[in-house]
Every structure is written in C-alpha cells, then in structure tokens.
Amino acid sequence: MIATKQLRMTVYASLLAALTAAGAYLAIPIGPVPIVLQSLFIFLSGLLLGSRWGVASVGVYLLAGALGLPVFAGGVGGIGRFAGPTGGYLLGFLPAVYVIGLITEKTRKRVVFDVFAMVCGSIIIYSCGVSWLKILTGMTLAKTMVVGMYPFILGDVLKIAAAVPIAKALRPVINP
C-alpha cells in the first residue's frame, strides 16, 4: 500500500515537473508583461503534492534545467541560468514550494488557507529573486523592485486566482 502511494506520487510529481516545463513556454498576453505560467504550476505542486513531493517535483525540474534540457522560460537552459539574472527566482521556487506544501498540510484544505499559502510562496520567490538581482546588478533596492517585482504582481494575483479552482478540481483525482 505504501509502495503504491509512493509510486503514484512519483508519477504525479514528474507530471507537475513536466507541466512546469510546459508552463515556462506558455505566455498569456495580459497587462504590460506577459504572464508566464511557470509559477502557477509551482504553486500547484505545493498545493497538490504537499511539501516533500512538491520539493521533489521542483527539484527534478530545476535539475533537468541545469543539465541543459530546454525547460526554463525565456531561453537558455544549462547550469549557467542559476548564475544569471533570473537565477534567484529559480532557486526561490524550492523554499516556496516547501512552504506552500507545509501550510496546506497543516491546515484544512480551505480556499483561505490556499490563498494564504500561495501569497507566502510568492513572497519567498520575490525575496530570493529580487535580492539576487540586486546583488548581480548593483541597483538600489527600490529600483530592483521596480524592475523585478512590480510588473509581475498583477500576473501573480491572476495565477493565484486560477490556482484555487484548479487545485479544487484536481484534489479528488490525486487523493481519492
């Protein structure tokens, strides 16, 4: 029974990693900056798989990117991406998905907690991403936030709004 559960979670975690990779190539043209769906699937990994398997899913995704498979948004894969300007965001996905998973595991699966978990997750992603961007470019904190955070907030609100019904629809499939 335990082995069955583990196998299913392995398959689901791989599927979410694949969806994250596909999401990196899907952009929705709303607002000033196109919304890339990558982080939507990061949120969903946390919500659907929980902390441990969520981290496994995102870890596999990042490793595939580091090995050079074309899975990252906006371009060049390979380990060099982690040192590039968006590297902070990529590494921020790991603690973010852990925290989202942890919050949903500890609380009952209610919309309020889901939204709270995802807001925490986005804060973690931005704090990692913006601080790395600041170190790399040497801009002031305010200016880094103008470049690396404010344009994406609208998109994140929409993604959180989209993740809630998707998580609601998929939870019965995952945990029957």
Partner 1 sequence: MAELSAFNFRPGSSVLHGLDVRFKLIFLVLISFTSLKAYTVALSVLTLVLVAALMHSGLSLKSILKTFRYVSVLLAFIFIARALSTPGSVVAEFKAISITREGIYYGAMICWRLVIVILTGLSFVLTTRPSEIKAAVEWTLNPFPFIPAKRIATMMSLMVRFLPVIIDQAKETADAQRARGIENRKNPVYRLGKLGIPLMRRTFERADKLAVAMEARCYSENRTDPVLSSGIMDWIALCGVVCLCLVIISA
Which residues make up the interface to partner 1 (CB under 8 A)?
Answer: 4, 7-8, 10-15, 17-19, 21-22, 25-29, 33-34, 56-57, 59-61, 63-64, 67-70, 73-80, 162, 165-166, 169-170, 173-174
Interatomic CA distance for residues 28 and 44, integer angstroms: 18
- The b-or-e profile of 5-19 (16+ CB within 10 A means b, else e) is eeeebeebbeebbbb
> Residue 79 Cβ, how far from partner 1 at the closest point, in Å?
7
CA distance between the termini of the chain: 14
Minimum distance, C-beta of residue 95 to partner 1, in the bound complex (Å): 19
- Given the complex with partner 1, which of 73 and 128 has the nearer CB atom? 73
Beta strands in 14-150 (DSSP E): 27-28, 35-36
Find the shortest distance in angstroms from Cβ 164 to partner 1.
11
Nearer to partner 1, 51 or 124 (CB): 51
Looking at the chain, the number of H-run helices and the number of E-run strands are 6, 2
Name every residue whose Cβ is closer than 8 Å to that of residue 164 and which is 6 or more positions away in sequence: 111, 114, 115
Q: Which is nearer to partner 1, 75 or 111 (CB)?
A: 75
- Closer to partner 1 by Cβ: residue 18 or 115: 18
* In the complex, least distance from residue 27 CB atom to partner 1, rounded to whole angstroms: 5
